[in-house]
Chain A
């Protein structure tokens, strides 16, 4: 069985699983946020149970429109807060909060071998830890909060192998953008993506989170990595409960095997208006930008901020550009402060925001006007994603976003170093 099949089998009453089977799966964590929880709570109440199945296994994170951006958002956040406190579930208030997919791993709420379902499509991020995690809707989450299990169709697994060594300025974001550019936004529809290869073995956890995060941008149900020493080091100090490490069988059956030689891949940029519309950064000339966003559940982690700061140190953001840096969590914010990264950003002329999803979904903290272009380390560049329907979003890694902020147009980090 593949890694995903192993984990799902261990959470169901079946010993052997194969793609296409409908199963009931026990869940280890059920997640929702300030946008999706209000509907989940309403639906939960309709089921007619008074308590969630296990408060320790339910979490709500207000992160999309928080700190509350307007009255309507405040009403939604209030509803979530009241439910969370009443049910005594895991909850992250302003001051402790951050972007859900950054804080769940970092606070040890998700561990290897877990099954996690979340009312947010980027719940697939936790595959970096060797967990099976997938996004669903609010009604699914309502039912899971009541019963502790969900129905699922076992997905076929596509195996991706990344051979060779990564070039300079090339990281997890570039590999996943390259992959989506190759297979398309529905290239892994209904499938799980299992990531292997030398480049993956050598990649740090933050890069793996970025890759797992964007599995959904290829239509994937999950993106997953094997647990190795790097994973175990990451969870060592934060795991407060038992977990199980699963391995795919040597003779596991994959629906497809796709191999890449990463040494030929340069930093990638996904042009408007699809994440699959990728080009090597060197192929973009004279794309003038109005804004650069460095943050989100894709690239708002410490390694990402370090990379951006390394480029921006001693430089100045182009006066035509608004550069917005958003650490993914309070912990990362504090660490970035201690390391002097925040000072670097501010000295360079960037603005640093409290952790929030903010501009990533066109919520607040950096909305685009008609005709504006933005380079962003986020994960989606659909029409209107970051503001006006006539604005444009280009997706890239933090080094490219930082370099472009300095140059004023999209450039390779090489050009500003």
Chain B
């Protein structure tokens, strides 16, 4: 069960906002985390605590294919991202590296910055402890479930190659 404080953002949070290109001359997760969300929320890095949750409206993670974006979010301590919709490449990258991402419009509409959410990844249940409301995120397609339970794409690929 995940539990954390919410940082809420609007629509089209792009990958340049999540991790600006000027920091992409390194790829160490801890270095990237130091600049996470910097261009839209300068204080994010100072305020974020282990387990906190990012909530956003539509098209979260649009723009470049940089995996540095979900890596920066994960390394900053964020336990999961909940949005109404995600940009395609960001969604894939997050699943591949093991950053949980959930689509749930109702949860987004009924959550404010600073609220505390509880998330059960096993069944997609989200509970807002501030207003007591409960929501259920979109279920992952079977294939993605397999990928997640294998521990991400690298572990999944290892197993696939071993079988061959």
Contacts and interface: CB of A to CB of B under 8 A. Distances in A.
Interface of A: 22, 35-36, 38-39, 42-43, 46-49, 64-65, 69-70, 72-73, 76, 118-121, 123, 135-140, 142-143, 146-147, 151, 153, 185-186, 189-190, 219, 221, 274, 361-363, 380, 382-385, 389
A383 B64 contact: no
Contacts of A69: 25
A168 to B, nearest CB: 32
25 contacts: A22-B142, A22-B143, A35-B68, A36-B65, A46-B154, A47-B154, A48-B158, A64-B21, A69-B25, A120-B64, A135-B65, A136-B65, A138-B93, A139-B67, A147-B161, A151-B147, A185-B59, A186-B58, A186-B62, A221-B88, A274-B12, A380-B16, A383-B16, A384-B17, A385-B16
Counting chain B residues whose Cβ lies within 8 A of the other chain, the interface size class is: 35 or more
B17 A143 contact: no
Interface of B: 12, 14, 16-17, 20-22, 24-27, 39-40, 58-59, 62-68, 70-71, 85, 87-89, 92-93, 96-97, 141-143, 147, 152-154, 156-158, 160-161
Given A137-B96, A186-B85, A361-B64, 18 more contacts: A38-B27, A39-B27, A47-B154, A65-B25, A69-B25, A136-B65, A136-B92, A137-B89, A137-B92, A139-B152, A139-B153, A140-B92, A146-B157, A147-B157, A147-B160, A186-B12, A362-B16, A382-B63
A76 B65 contact: no
Given A139-B97, A186-B58, A383-B39, A151 B154 contact: no
A362 B63 CA distance: 14
Contacts of B156: 143
A120 B40 CA distance: 23
A49 B161 contact: yes
A384 B97 CA distance: 26
Contact of A70 (B25, B58, B66, B152): B25
